[in-house]
Structure 1
Amino acid sequence: MRALVNLALFALPFLFYIGWLHLKEQNPWLKQHWDRQPVIWIGLCGVLLAGGYFLYHLAGQSRDPTAVYVPARVENGVFHPAHLAPRAPEPRR
């Protein structure tokens, strides 16, 4: 799912550019509109959007070094994604 979000965020500036060309009543599929300079800037914007989402997602992950990895599972037909869970405190003796 995260890969699809990153791919969509990368493609978003290209879709905006196509929409902008349509608003200008120009054919977006002509080679003259896809010169090196616009494609570089649009690609850079896409990389920044996808990288920003990646960093946002990375910042939201657990920082607890004692966290336990819980693998993905299906229970009663419901999919539960993998996640990090806090380790249960050990009972005192």
Structure 2
Amino acid sequence: PTIYAIAMDILPIQASAVPCERVFSSGKITVTDRRNKIGGELMEALQILKFRFKQGHSLSFTHGLNIGEEPKNLESRAEESPEEISSYLASLK
């Protein structure tokens, strides 16, 4: 068990520091002086999103939905928590 634990600590180490340097450089570009309080989860999500854009993937908030489904989704959410939606609409006035 001890040798296995040591091997699992050592084997994943990359032979080159270049990919690691790229990750830190990309992170430095994401976290600026104005965005210095980004948490770990958000930083991870932003890095993944940036990688996907560089790979040519697009971002679609309606992928998989057709025009007929969206109003139904909104109506069902309004029925689940009408007070939240009412208070939100009231705050807009």
* TM-score where L is the length of structure 2: 0.24
Report the TM-score, using the length of structure 1 for normalisation: 0.24
Query: Larger relative CO (CA 8 A, sep 6+): 1 or 2?
Result: 1
Q: Which has the higher strand share?
A: 1
